Amino acid sequence: MTVQKLVIGNWKMNGSIAQLRAFADVALRDVRGCEAALCVPHPLLHAAQAVFGATRLRWGAQDCSAEEEGAFTGEVSARMIRELGARYVIVGHSERRAGHGETDGQIAAKAQRALAAGLTPIVCIGENAEERDGEQTAVVLRRQLLQLMRVLGRTLASVVLAYEPLWAIGSGNTAAPGLIDDTHGAIADMLAFHAGLSAHTVRILYGGSVHPRNAGAIMTSSLVSGVLVGGASLEPTDFMEIWKAATRCSAIAPQRLAPITATSRG
């Protein structure tokens, strides 16, 4: 069972080489136990490799092409990202689903391409406020996951999922830990039912208004493998605080992290 938490920062279209250096300085001074990575805009990947190479901080990208290579102007391939030492790539973020019309099929194809290139895809799933209010969360998550399962098959086990309810992103309305647990439990049940994957086989992060004050409470649960952090990942001290919280939660003995079963979840 995975007890090491994972912290992923999503810089979105923010940041600079100077900001990468500021993070490297802090990360070098303040080494943390579990894994953390910053997903930066493509033009910053090369600098991330140069400045984070000597630190425990890893780096990744925020999107990749579903194609391997060729006449796709403006696209960036998973292999190019991997060549710059990246370990992760976010795919299917709600801002790309909404702003670029990305479909579940395209997202699954991107995840497949990322895996083939040796990257770990972080696949974002989640419902919007209307779907939540209409009690459609499970339907939406199942639809998003089924396509992924169909395309990836057993290799789904190598993907990291990020449950990011759209109403929690950038809004300050963090989902309550109980709701996060219930939803992560439901996702684990779907993975078990439809793909035969036992609990904890696939890491499931939570994302949406995570900050230093709530990260520890969210990550205490065994159902939460870590966090995907937007706004708070732009500030080195905030990001380090979240990383510290993840390290503390990773150190909790496995028996205190016994998975919540369907019955105990009620």
The residues carrying an active-site annotation are: 93, 164
For residues 208 and 212, which CB has a smaller minimum distance to ligand PGA in the complex? Answer: 208
Of 16-24, 100-108, 163-171, 187-195: span binding ligand PGA (CB under 6 A): 163-171
Residue nearest ligand PGA by beta-carbon distance: 230
Cα torsion angle, 199, 204, 208, 212, sign: positive
Residues 6+ apart with CB under 8 A from 83: none
Number of H helices, E strands in the chain: 11, 8
Contact call for residue 230 and ligand PGA (CB under 6 A)? yes
Contact call for residue 228 and ligand PGA (CB under 6 A)? yes
For residues 121 and 207, which CB has a smaller minimum distance to ligand PGA in the complex? Answer: 207
Contact call for residue 170 and ligand PGA (CB under 6 A)? yes
Q: How many residues in total does the chain contain?
A: 266
Cross-strand bridge partners of residue 61? 89
Nearest CA among 8, 1, 27 for reference residue 226: 8
Q: What is the distance between the alpha carbons of residues 77 and 143, in angstroms, rounded to a whole number?
A: 26
Q: What is the 3-state secondary structure (H, E, C) of 46-87?
A: HHHHHHHCCCCEEEEECCCCCCCCCCCCCCCCHHHHHHCCCC
Of 42-50, 64-72, 189-197, 207-215: span binding ligand PGA (CB under 6 A): 207-215
The least distance separating ligand PGA from the CB of residue 168, rounded to whole angstroms, comes to 6
Cα torsion angle, 36, 41, 45, 49, sign: negative
Candidate residues 60, 126, 185, 207; the one interacting with ligand PGA per rule CB under 6 A: 207
Interacting positions 3-62 with ligand PGA (CB under 6 A): 10
- Interface size with ligand PGA, residues (CB under 6 A): 12
The least distance separating ligand PGA from the CB of residue 11, rounded to whole angstroms, comes to 10
Cross-strand bridge partners of residue 89? 61, 121
Q: What is the DSSP letter of 174?
A: P
For residues 35 and 164, which CB has a smaller minimum distance to ligand PGA in the complex? Answer: 164
Of 47-55, 139-147, 204-212, 217-225: span binding ligand PGA (CB under 6 A): 204-212
For residues 152 and 228, which CB has a smaller minimum distance to ligand PGA in the complex? Answer: 228
Residue ranges that bind ligand PGA, judged by CB under 6 A: 10, 164, 169-170, 207-210, 228-231
